[in-house]
């Protein structure tokens, strides 16, 4: 996704989407015969995604952050927002671990028993988890502004 096609009103989310795409592209690159270059590109993309997610996660806890629009008068939505913030915290903790595994893989290579397929799958699972959290956030924000006023109204 080109940076210019990202919406301008939410720069932290835009950076997250941009670096999510960069990591996805790096993971999908052909690694046969050039595992070291692949691992270096994936490691760089992971580092950039990690920085963007850390900024986004910090903003998610801020009173004027992306989850500020959650209806505070609805306890279920408030609880879901808190769970989502905690989920972002967990993702932030997973990224450096994966990045270190990829860094080590770049240093030693497949001849030393590194399973590049497993690393690719682990990173894709992390991306899927992040995408799921973003979709959950969107639904939560929509639920906050859409109030069920009943069929008789």
What is the tens place of the pLDDT at every residue in 57-88? 998 888 888 888 888 889 999 999 999 999 99
Helices 35-61 & 75-108 angle (0-180, nearest 10): 160
Q: For residue 101, give every residue at least 6 positions away whose Cβ sits within 8 Å of its Cβ, in sequence order, or none.
A: 119, 122
Kindly report the pTM of this predicted structure.
0.81
Q: Any idea which residue has 């590194």 for tokens?
A: 114
Give the pLDDT of residue 7.
33
Query: Quick one: tokens of 115?
Result: 């399973």
Give the pLDDT of residue 153.
44
Give the pLDDT of residue 149.
52
Give the pLDDT of residue 110.
66
CA 126-131-132 angle, to 5 degrees, is 95
Q: For residue 8, give every residue at least 6 positions away whose Cβ sits within 8 Å of its Cβ, in sequence order, or none.
A: 14
Q: What stretches in the chain show pLDDT beneath 70?
A: 1-13, 109-111, 147-153
Query: Quick one: tokens of 144?
Result: 């906050």
Domains of the chain: which residue ranges?
Answer: 9-144
Helices 116-145 & 35-61 angle (0-180, nearest 10): 20
Give the pLDDT of residue 147.
67
């Amino acid at each position: 996704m080109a940076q210019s096609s990202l919406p301008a009103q939410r720069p932290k989310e835009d950076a997250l989407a941009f670096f999510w795409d960069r990591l996805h592209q790096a993971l999908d690159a052909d690694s046969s015969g050039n595992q070291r270059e692949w691992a270096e590109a994936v490691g760089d993309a992971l580092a950039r995604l990690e920085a963007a997610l850390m900024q986004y996660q910090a903003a998610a806890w801020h009173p004027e952050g992306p989850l500020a629009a959650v209806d505070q008068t609805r306890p279920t939505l408030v609880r879901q927002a808190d769970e989502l913030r905690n989920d972002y915290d967990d993702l932030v903790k997973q990224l450096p671990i994966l990045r270190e595994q990829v860094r080590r893989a770049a240093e030693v290579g497949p001849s030393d028993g590194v399973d590049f397929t497993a690393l690719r799958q682990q990173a894709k699972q992390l991306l899927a988890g992040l995408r799921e959290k973003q979709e959950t956030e969107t639904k939560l924000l929509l639920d906050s502004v859409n109030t069920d006023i009943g069929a008789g109204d």
